Structure 1
Amino acid sequence: MKIQENLEFIDVLKRAEKLLYSNINFILFLFLCSLPLFCFLIFFELSLQTTILVASEYFSQKVKFWGYYYNVPQDHALLKNLVSLLLQTFLFYLFPYSLLDLLTTTTIVSASSLVYRCEEEPLRLSQLVQRTIEICRNRIGGCLITSLYILLMSTSVFFGFFFAATNYLYIISLIGLGDHTYRYYISIEEDVVIDTTTPTPMLLTNGNVFEDLNPSRILFGSVMAMFHGAIFIVLLAKFSKWSAGWNMGLVVSVLEEEEEDGQGIYGTDALALSSYYGRGHEKPGLWVMLVFLLFVLAMRIPCLCLKCSESSSGNGVLYTSFYVGLICVGNVIKWVASVVLYHDCRTRVLEKKGDVEIGSKAKAFAT
Structure 2
Amino acid sequence: MQMDDSRIAMKEKLEFVGIIKEALKIPIKNPKFFFTILLTFFPLFCSLCLHETMFQRALIESLRSQADDPPPHEGFVIIYRSSWPSPSLHAFRDWIGNFISRKLLVQSFTFLAIIHLFDLLNTIITVSTASAIYAQEKETLTKPFIENKVALFKGPLITSIYALLLNSLALVGLFTLSINIYLMWSIFSTLTYMLVFVALFTKYIEWSAVWNTGIVISILEQNKHGDVALGVSAYISRGSRKRGFLIMLVFFAWSFGLRLSSLCVGWQKGNVVIEVILAQACLDCLGSVMKWVAFMIYFYDCKKRFIEKKFDGSAEGKA
Smaller-chain TM-score bracket: 0.7 to 0.9
Q: Which amino acid aligns with 2:147?
A: E
Deviation readout 1:290-311 (Å, 9 max, x if unpaired): 1111111111112212326976
User: Take 1:70 and 1:99, find their aligned partners in 2: how far apart are those partners?
Assistant: 42
For the residue of structure 1 that corresponds to 2:239, the secondary structure is coil
2:300 corresponding residue in structure 1: 343
Given the alignment, which residue of 25, 29, 32 partners 2:36?
Answer: 29
Are positions 1:139 and 2:152 aligned together? yes
Deviation at 1:42, TM superposition (A): 0.7
User: Take 2:68 and 2:193, find their aligned partners in 1: how far apart are those partners?
Assistant: 21
Given the alignment, which residue of 277, 301, 317 partners 2:260?
Answer: 301
Fraction of identical pairs, as percent: 29
Deviation at 1:283, TM superposition (A): 1.1
Structure with the higher helix share, 1 or 2: 2
Structure with the higher strand share, 1 or 2: 1
1:83 corresponding residue in structure 2: 101
1:216 corresponding residue in structure 2: none
1:96 corresponding residue in structure 2: 114
User: Take 1:233 and 1:65, find their aligned partners in 2: how far apart are those partners?
Assistant: 33
Q: Which amino acid aligns with 1:297?
A: F
* 1:168-247 correspondence to structure 2 within 5 Å: 168-172=181-185, 220=186, 222-247=187-212
User: Take 1:58 and 1:116, find their aligned partners in 2: how far apart are those partners?
Assistant: 51
For the residue of structure 2 that corresponds to 1:118, the secondary structure is coil
Could you tell me whether the CA contact under 8 Å between 1:8 and 1:284 is conserved in 2? yes
TM-score by length of 2: 0.81
Over 3 Å counting, the alpha-carbon distance change for 1:62 and 1:359 in structure 2 is farther
User: Take 2:130 and 2:18, find their aligned partners in 1: how far apart are those partners?
Assistant: 17
Is the radius of gyration larger for structure 1 or structure 2? Answer: 1
User: Take 1:275 and 1:59, find their aligned partners in 2: how far apart are those partners?
Assistant: 44
* 1:11-90 correspondence to structure 2 within 5 Å: 11-57=18-64, 64-65=71-72, 68=76, 79-80=97-98, 82-85=100-103, 87-88=105-106, 90=108
1:152 corresponding residue in structure 2: 165
| Unaligned stretches of 5+ residues in structure 1 | 173-219, 258-263
User: Take 1:274 and 1:78, find their aligned partners in 2: how far apart are those partners?
Assistant: 37
1:182 corresponding residue in structure 2: none
User: Take 2:122 and 2:160, find their aligned partners in 1: how far apart are those partners?
Assistant: 13
TM-score by length of 1: 0.71
Q: Which amino acid aligns with 2:202?
A: A
Are positions 1:319 and 2:284 aligned together? no
1:260 corresponding residue in structure 2: none
Given the alignment, which residue of 220, 229, 233 partners 1:255?
Answer: 220
Which has the larger displacement, 137-146 or 48-57?
48-57
Could you tell me whether the CA contact under 8 Å between 1:308 and 1:317 is conserved in 2? no
For the residue of structure 2 that corresponds to 1:65, the secondary structure is coil
For the residue of structure 1 that corresponds to 2:224, the secondary structure is coil
1:188 corresponding residue in structure 2: none
Aligned length: 300
User: Take 1:231 and 1:152, find their aligned partners in 2: how far apart are those partners?
Assistant: 21
User: Take 2:180 and 2:86, find their aligned partners in 1: how far apart are those partners?
Assistant: 22
Over 3 Å counting, the alpha-carbon distance change for 1:155 and 1:48 in structure 2 is same
Deviation readout 1:91-110 (Å, 9 max, x if unpaired): 13542111111111111111
Could you tell me whether the CA contact under 8 Å between 1:149 and 1:267 is conserved in 2? yes
Could you tell me whether the CA contact under 8 Å between 2:145 and 2:152 is conserved in 1? no
2:132 corresponding residue in structure 1: 114
Over 3 Å counting, the alpha-carbon distance change for 1:79 and 1:269 in structure 2 is closer
Q: Which amino acid aligns with 2:167?
A: S
Given the alignment, which residue of 227, 235, 238 partners 1:276?
Answer: 235
Given the alignment, which residue of 161, 171, 182 partners 2:174?
Answer: 161
Q: Which amino acid aligns with 1:9?
A: F
User: Take 2:208 and 2:87, find their aligned partners in 1: how far apart are those partners?
Assistant: 45
Q: Which amino acid aligns with 1:111?
A: T
User: Take 1:76 and 1:338, find their aligned partners in 2: how far apart are those partners?
Assistant: 41
Over 3 Å counting, the alpha-carbon distance change for 1:358 and 1:81 in structure 2 is closer
User: Take 1:89 and 1:298, find their aligned partners in 2: how far apart are those partners?
Assistant: 25
For the residue of structure 2 that corresponds to 1:128, the secondary structure is coil
Higher RCO by CA contacts (8 Å cutoff, separation 6 or greater): 2
Are positions 1:130 and 2:143 aligned together? yes
Deviation at 1:235, TM superposition (A): 2.5
Are positions 1:329 and 2:286 aligned together? yes
Are positions 1:266 and 2:225 aligned together? yes
Deviation readout 1:45-98 (Å, 9 max, x if unpaired): 111212322453566689933785999998989955632426146413542111
